[in-house]
Amino acid sequence: MFTTILDILQDKGRGIHAYAAVARTAMKMAALHPEQAAGFYVLATTAETFVDLHERMPVSSQELAQAFAAFTDDVTALQEAYEGGDPATILAALNRIAAARAKGEA
């Protein structure tokens, strides 16, 4: 479910345009899959924020690697939480990711 978003990011080269594509796709997936909408929405806004912050500035390979690692961790956490099906675990994963992004963590 969420790993398709990660596949898009990898296939498109993990750069600004890849994150923009991920944001668009994740937002569409949120609308198509209401039972996972919160997860897709969090991923979409994370990708959009990355684009907004780096759109017109050069991004170092280290920054790209850090962003990709953090995004991969988010996707993995959401995938595992939703596969487990426990609402408390899903909410905990969503809250952890949202709190980290609100703090500006990669």
Strands (E), 1-106: none
The model's pLDDT over 8-47, given as tens digits with 9 standing for 90+, comes to: 999 999 999 999 999 999 999 999 999 999 999 999 999 9
Helix (H), strand (E) at residue 73: helix 61-84
Give the per-residue pLDDT at 55: 85
27-63 burial, b at 16+ Cβ within 10 Å, e below that, comes to bebbeeeeebebbbbbbbbbbbebbeebeeeeeeeee
